Amino acid sequence: MTSFTQLKERLGQIEVEIEEAKKRLGAHSIKPVLMAALFALEDERDMILQQLKAQSQCCCAGQGAC
């Protein structure tokens, strides 16, 4: 299992990548490849958020013991 700290770090990285991907989209003629990349990043972000939520409910959250 990935530690709470590692998940938080990856979440921060993904948020930056999502913002960069959104900047590359442009207003017109969005390329399917760019949209797919954005969707993949958002899906990964959602999975990490679920894992963080599950770990935060554990008594040892943030201590890396779980």
What residue ranges do the domains of the chain occupy?
Answer: 4-54
* 66 pLDDT more than 80: no
Is the per-residue pLDDT at 5 higher than 70?
A: yes
pLDDT (0 to 100) of residue 38? 95
Structure tokens at 24: 């590359």
Prediction pTM value = 0.78
- 45, 18 in Cβ contact below 8 A? yes
Cα gap 52→5, rounded to integer Å? 9
At residue 9, the pLDDT reads 96
Q: Are 48 and 7 in contact (CB under 8 A)?
A: yes
**The predicted structure's pLDDT at residue 60:** 60
* 59 phi, psi to nearest 5 deg: -65, -20
Q: Residues 18-62: pLDDT tens digits?
A: 999 998 887 788 889 999 999 999 999 999 999 999 988 876 645
| The token pair that represents 63 in the structure block | 């201590």
